[in-house]
Amino acid sequence: NNEQKALFIIFGGTGDLAKRKLYPSLFRLYQKGYLQNKFAVIGTARREWSDEHYRNVVKESIKDLYLSEKVADDFVSHFYYQAHHVSDVEHYKTLQKLADELDKKYALCGNRLFYLAMSPRFFGEISRYLKTENIVTDHGYNRLIIEKPFGRDLASAQILNKEIEKYFPEESVFRIDHYLGKEMIQNISAIRFGNNIFSALWNNRYIDNIQITLSEALGVEERAGYYETAGALRDMVQNHILQIVALLTMNAPISFNDVDIRREKISALKALKVYSTPEEINENFVRGQYAGLGDMKGYREEKDTAEDSNIETFVAGKLYVDNMNFSDVPIYIRTGKRMAVKTTRIDIVFKQVPTNIFKDSGMQANMLTINVDPQEGLNLRINAKEVKPGFHTESINLSHLHDIETKENIPEAYEKLLLDALLGDATNFTHWEEVNYSWRFVDAIRHVWDLEPADFPNYLPGTMGPKCSDELLAKDGNHWEFNP
Ligand code: NAP
């Protein structure tokens, strides 16, 4: 029996994330039996909703998932709504009463998950009231799940963390990075540590370079207000990309549990070479901003952006993890909006054989590709004999794509992360030390970029970013392997 007992309190229960991700994920956990009778959800936000209205909203959010009205109605009967302003202490008192009532009613053993699905500026205050108003129980567990962004630089992240750690110890804080919930990102560990052929080669003696691409085809859409204060470096590199870098370059953990894995990830991020001078930064990082084309507006013409905005919608960089296994392996990263395709993929480019005994000069290096989005799969490029008279080599691809049925059954990232939080497994959540080292790295670049206006816009929609991104690799005699 997998049934978990817990009360969820969702702050921001009327918000977009709750409706699009959290309620459907909770429903899937319900369908799979992780949640049965012993759970309840309190949604809170300022809007004055009744329980009935709230349940209708939740039901609407899962309408594509249920086949039976009865199952859906049973599920939503566990949902309660409490109107609440985060700064009003009286509301926490009401919340505490309701939480205790539901704990009794559903036999929840004092287990609580507090999901903060709202602006980070409220995280500190909510944590405080949860503790001072005794919503945190003294029997059962109390886990705080928080959304990104965690600060906007190292200083603000430290302030936020100090505030939270007064009320919740690090092991109770579950910082969401939804990339860590993606199937193929989780697969990195299986590939690396479950295969001798890869674990033996996974180092600077055999890997030539690593390339990570997180490209989006859409522009900034409705998020320009936020994006103007962030940019691609903060929005994608500090969290998702550096998390992927850590998973690719960490040493093997002693065992596969959250403490051991996160210890190794922290070490990898600590080993990130931090660029400090403007020269080093300009040598290793480039930025871009999309121009307009036809009906598509350029970033500076989008609603809520400044007409001389210096915010980057594209970043490419070369970084190094200076540990024993990875020093000297360039790790090229790039991410951007309005690019040719939406894709997330990782290319591990191996070194060429020490000497080429064949006449063919154009032999390609071995390459392992991990396709994360949109099509999950793996591809290994190897050289083999061409089927022809004479002797020539050619590249062939050993490839595995999840079939349609497997693909359809891949749990959504949020579903996996919510289950992990229920089980108390913090493997796929970011530890404070990871956040700390990531910001240290990103801040140095941000600082230089904020001082030097960029020559924007510098790339067209539908391309893979500005020319300087290709030049970054060309300087090293390399090129982006993924070039749609
Ligand atoms: P949102 O739609 O703007 O929701 C914010 C929620 O906070 C609403 O429920 C709002 O409800 C409530 N709220 C605002 N001020 C409040 C106050 N003073 N007291 C009580 N409740 C208040 O935002 P979201 O898109 O769901 O995002 C939530 C968090 O998730 C953010 O940290 C965001 O960065 C992160 N995130 C979101 C997504 C996504 O796909 N949406 C993806 C990744 C990360 P009322 O107006 O009723 O008060």
- For 147-182, where are the alpha helices, taking DSSP H only? 154-165
- Does residue 409 register a pLDDT over 90? no
pLDDT of 111 above 90: yes
pLDDT at 406: 83
Interval 185-206 mean pLDDT: 97
Residue with CA nearest ligand 1 atom 11: 45
At residue 404, the pLDDT reads 82
178 is in an annotated binding site: yes
What percent of the chain shows pLDDT beyond 90? 93
| Candidate from 119, 146, 150, 160 with most ligand 1 atoms within 8 A of CB, to mutate | 119
Helix axes 69-76, 23-31, angle to 10 degrees: 120
Average pLDDT over residues 365-389: 95
Would you tell me the crossing angle of helices 432-451 and 154-165 to the nearest 10 degrees?
150
**Predicted-assembly ipTM surpassing the 0.95 threshold:** yes
**CA 419 to chain centroid:** 16
Segment 319-356, tens digit of pLDDT:
999 999 999 999 999 999 999 999 999 999 999 999 88
Distances (CA, A) of 98 to 47, 91, 102, 105: 18, 11, 6, 10
- pLDDT at res. 228: 96
Mean pLDDT of 297-312: 96
Q: What is the pTM of this model?
A: 0.96
Asked whether residue 361 carries a pLDDT value surpassing 80, the answer given is no
| Least confident range of 96-105, 179-188, 235-244, 406-415 | 406-415
CA dist 136 and 116 (Å) reads 14
pLDDT at 360 over 80: no
CB distance 115 to 9 below 8 Å? yes
Residue 193 near residue 252, CB atoms below 8 Å? yes
Catalytic residue among 240, 392, 400, 447: 240
Ramachandran area for residue 239 (φ above 0: left; ψ -120 to 50: alpha; else beta): alpha
* Residue 240 appears among annotated catalytic residues: yes
Give 307's DSSP letter: T
Q: Are 177 and 429 in contact (CB under 8 A)?
A: yes
pLDDT of residue 26: 98
466: helix, strand or coil: coil
Q: From the CA of 118, how far away is ligand 1's center (Å)?
A: 3
212 CA to middle of ligand 1, Å? Answer: 30
Q: Give the percent of the chain with pLDDT over 70.
A: 100
Q: Is 33 annotated as a binding residue?
A: no
Average pLDDT of the chain, as a whole number: 96
Q: Which of 285, 256, 314, 292 is nearest to 471 (CA)?
A: 285
273 assigned to a ligand binding site = no
pLDDT at 407 over 90: no
Q: How far is Cα 280 from Cα 274, in angstroms, rounded to an integer?
A: 10
Does position 223 have pLDDT exceeding 80, yes or no? yes
Q: What is the mean pLDDT of residues 139-161?
A: 96
Tell the residue nearest (CA) to atom 12 of ligand 1: 12
Element (H, E) at 45: strand 39-45
Contacts of 422 (CB under 8 A, 6+ apart): 4, 6, 29, 34, 113
Strands 39-45 and 6-11: parallel
Number of Cβ within a 10 Å radius of residue 431: 21
CA of 259 to the centre of ligand 1 (A): 30
- The total of other beta-carbon atoms located within 10 Å of residue 47's CB is 13
Do residues 243 and 212 touch, judged by C-beta distance below 8 A?
A: no
CA dist., res. 247 & res. 266, Å (int): 10
Sequence-distant (6+) residues with CB within 8 A of 270 are 433, 437
Q: How far is the CA of 116 from the centre of ligand 1 (A)?
A: 8
CA-to-CA dists, residue 437 to 23, 42, 161, 286, angstroms: 33, 35, 14, 21
* Nearest CA owner, ligand 1 atom 10: 12
For the chain, the maximum distance between any two Cα atoms, rounded to a whole number of angstroms, is 84
The tokens for 256 are 């596969």
* CA atoms of 258 and 248, how far apart (whole Å): 16
Q: What is the average per-residue pLDDT within 399-411?
A: 86
Give the pocket of ligand 1 (CB within 6 Å). 12-17, 20, 45-47, 84-86, 117-120, 147-148
359 band by pLDDT with thresholds 50, 70 and 90: confident
Residue 15 CA to ligand 1 center (angstroms) comes to: 5
Q: Which of 14, 17, 44, 227 to mutate to test the pocket of ligand 1 (most atoms within 8 A of CB)?
A: 17
pLDDT level of residue 366 (50, 70, 90 thresholds): very high
**Residue bearing the CA closest to ligand 1, atom 40:** 17
In eight-state DSSP terms, residue 170 is G
- The 10s digit of each residue's pLDDT in 263-283 is 999 999 999 999 999 999 999
Radius of gyration (C-alpha) of the chain in whole angstroms: 24
Is the distance from CB of 79 to CB of 18 less than 8 angstroms?
Answer: no
Q: How far apart are CA 339 and CA 346, in angstroms?
A: 17
Residue 200 reports pLDDT greater than 90:
yes
Residue among 49, 118, 239, 418 to mutate when testing ligand 1 (max atoms within 8 A of CB): 118
Among 427, 440, 444, 426, residue whose Cα is nearest residue 158: 440
Q: 411 C-alpha to center of ligand 1: Å? A: 23
Counted residue by residue, the chain has a size of: 484
18 belongs to an annotated ligand binding site: yes
